[in-house]
């Protein structure tokens, strides 16, 4: 790989004796990882069924390395949301924030959703996570991953940090700023990151990060925790960004992150004021652990915050729509959705816990998308299928992951079943994949067109 000469000189200057070990990693394969999804499967069951050779990621209890010749993205278990493919060092970030069920969490730079889905799993789908992404296309990809992993407590927005800060001053218990960065830790994964790199770009990113952090600060509650992370090595975007943030506000406390499994401290000598306490931050280097590289800082807001005085979202659903949905529910499901219901035109959603009013915000998804009211009937959404357990529906059709039928289903083809039971949940080895409607011995395929295998 041809690295930019300015980058090489800079890293040699910074890392001194360590530089040769750092550069030797560019002659090695990148690290591949996946994280099983505890919202759908536990560790033991996952290790029993998973068809790939895995070894554990030491700093993430749900994370595993897989070999380069495996293709986990093509397996039906991926479509069923049993795991998320994620760069291993990125898995450490959510472990540092560690939200609890019931908390109010913001993932400010969230697409494509690796960390959002990990945070939501830690929250056991309870409480609220606002997953925001500034770029519309990426916000859609985020929403698709949230759906696939069965996350039901998210409000997905497509906003600037500035706009969110106007809506949510002092609102969040925990905030993740997984900042846009120069991506030096992406070089082995993505050649574009190498081509895009320049020292000027590093400096632009550092300015952007300061802005984002300022708005994140405004949204934190007193006692709230903010985690800042990047996948780059430059001091300007890491130690110096945190140094400037701590200098701007006098009610921030830098908390210590445990340094185990090869995780290294941040470097005081890379700050402008030789800030000793920066050692509390964490650096994940490719030459000291198996991963592409990350920087993580954990900060507590100790001073008072404005108390949030916004309104919560209220149910706005017509009686007819509720009737249609409840009729479907009684016929097809074995559970009752008890969360407040919310309609966007003909689409029905179950709101997350303590969901704020979102009028005026660009919302991509809220809570659980139940389905769409059509003339005199209700059509369930794919998100509902992926949030259910097989015992929560009246009828299901279980396909084996290596069967022709499973492939046919994922390609959008009809399947002959010989029965006539109406809506049923199609599962792969017992894990939901999507809906089908059985009429006169044939299963009509409701696997979404945009997700179908070619």
Ligand X SMILES: C[S@@+](CC[C@H](N)C(=O)[O-])C[C@H]1O[C@@H](n2cnc3c(N)ncnc32)[C@H](O)[C@@H]1O
Q: Which residues bind ligand X (CB under 6 A)?
A: 90, 109-115, 133-135, 138, 161, 178, 180, 208, 212
CA distance 145 to 79: 10
CA distance 17 to 4: 20
Please enumerate in sequence order all residues whose Cβ is within 8 A of that of 320, keeping only pairs 6 or more positions apart, or say none: 373
Is 179 a known ligand-binding residue? Answer: no
CB of 294 to ligand X, least distance (A): 10
CA distance 358 to 339: 17
83 and 46 in contact (C-beta within 8 Å)?
yes
In order, the DSSP letters of 233-256 are --GGGTHHHHHHHHHH-SSEEEEP
Is 418 a known ligand-binding residue? Answer: no
CB of 415 to ligand X, least distance (A): 34
Q: Which residue, 150 or 434, is less far from ligand X as judged by CB?
A: 150
355 part of the active site: no
Is 110 a known ligand-binding residue? Answer: yes
Q: Which residue, 169 or 185, is less far from ligand X as judged by CB?
A: 185
Q: Which residue, 114 or 266, is less far from ligand X as judged by CB?
A: 114
CB of 289 to ligand X, least distance (A): 18
Say whether 333 sits in a helix, a strand or coil. strand
End-to-end CA distance of the chain: 32
Is 112 a known ligand-binding residue? Answer: yes
Bridge partners for 51 per DSSP: none
Q: Give the pairing of strands 377-380 and 368-374.
A: antiparallel
Is 178 a known ligand-binding residue? Answer: yes
Is 398 a known ligand-binding residue? Answer: no
Helix (H) or strand (E) holding 385: helix 382-387
283 and 295 in contact (C-beta within 8 Å)?
yes
Q: Which residue, 171 or 295, is less far from ligand X as judged by CB?
A: 295
Catalytic residue chosen out of the listed positions 60, 231, 355, 406? 231
CB of 443 to ligand X, least distance (A): 34
CB of 248 to ligand X, least distance (A): 18
Say whether 311 sits in a helix, a strand or coil. coil
CA distance 112 to 109: 9
Q: Which residue, 82 or 111, is less far from ligand X as judged by CB?
A: 111
Residue matched to tokens 């300007």: 236
Annotated catalytic sites, by residue?
231
Q: Which residues are annotated as a binding site for S-adenosyl-L-methionine?
A: 109-115, 133, 178
Q: Which residues are annotated as a binding site?
A: 109-115, 133, 178
């Amino acid at each position: 790989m041809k690295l930019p000469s300015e980058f090489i000189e800079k890293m040699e200057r910074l890392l001194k004796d360590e530089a040769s070990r750092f550069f030797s990693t560019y002659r090695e394969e990148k690290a591949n990882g996946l994280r099983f999804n505890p919202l759908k499967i536990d560790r033991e069951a996952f290790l029993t069924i998973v068809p790939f050779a895995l070894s554990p990621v030491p700093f993430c209890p749900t994370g595993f390395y897989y070999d380069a010749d495996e293709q986990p993205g093509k397996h039906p278990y991926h479509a069923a949301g049993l795991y998320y493919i994620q760069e291993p060092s990125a898995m450490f970030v959510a472990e540092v924030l560690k939200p609890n069920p019931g908390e109010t969490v913001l993932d400010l730079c969230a697409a494509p959703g690796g960390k959002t889905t990990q945070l939501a799993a830690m929250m056991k789908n309870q409480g609220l996570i606002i997953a925001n992404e500034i770029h519309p296309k990426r916000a859609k990809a985020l929403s698709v991953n949230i759906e696939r992993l069965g996350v039901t407590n998210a409000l997905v927005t497509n906003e600037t940090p500035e706009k969110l800060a106007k809506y949510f001053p002092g609102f969040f218990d925990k905030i993740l700023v997984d900042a846009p960065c120069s991506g030096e830790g992406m070089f082995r994964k993505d050649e574009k990151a190498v081509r895009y790199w320049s020292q000027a770009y590093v400096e632009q990113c550092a300015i952007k990060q300061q802005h984002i952090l300022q708005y994140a600060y405004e949204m934190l509650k007193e006692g709230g925790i903010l985690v800042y992370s990047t996948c780059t090595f430059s001091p300007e975007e890491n130690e110096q960004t945190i140094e400037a943030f701590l200098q701007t506000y006098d009610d921030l406390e830098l908390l210590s992150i445990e340094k185990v499994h090869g995780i290294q401290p941040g470097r005081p000598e890379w700050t402008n004021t030789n800030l000793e306490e920066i050692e509390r931050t964490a650096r994940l280097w490719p030459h000291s652990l198996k991963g592409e590289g990350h920087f993580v800082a954990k900060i507590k807001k100790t001073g008072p915050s404005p108390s949030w005085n916004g309104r919560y979202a209220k149910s706005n659903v017509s009686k007819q729509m509720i009737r249609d949905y409840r009729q479907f529910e009684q016929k097809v499901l074995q559970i009752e959705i008890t969360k407040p219901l919310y309609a966007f035109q003909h689409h029905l959603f179950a709101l997350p816990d303590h969901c704020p009013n979102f009028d005026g915000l660009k919302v991509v998804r809220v809570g659980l998308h139940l389905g769409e009211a059509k003339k005199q009937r209700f059509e369930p959404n794919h998100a509902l299928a992926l949030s259910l357990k097989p015992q929560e529906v009246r009828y299901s059709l279980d396909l084996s992951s290596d069967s022709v039928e499973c492939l046919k289903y994922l390609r959008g083809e009809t399947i002959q079943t010989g029965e006539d039971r109406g809506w049923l949940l199609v599962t792969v080895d017992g894990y939901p994949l999507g809906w089908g409607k059985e009429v006169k011995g044939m299963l009509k395929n409701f696997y979404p067109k945009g997700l179908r295998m070619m």
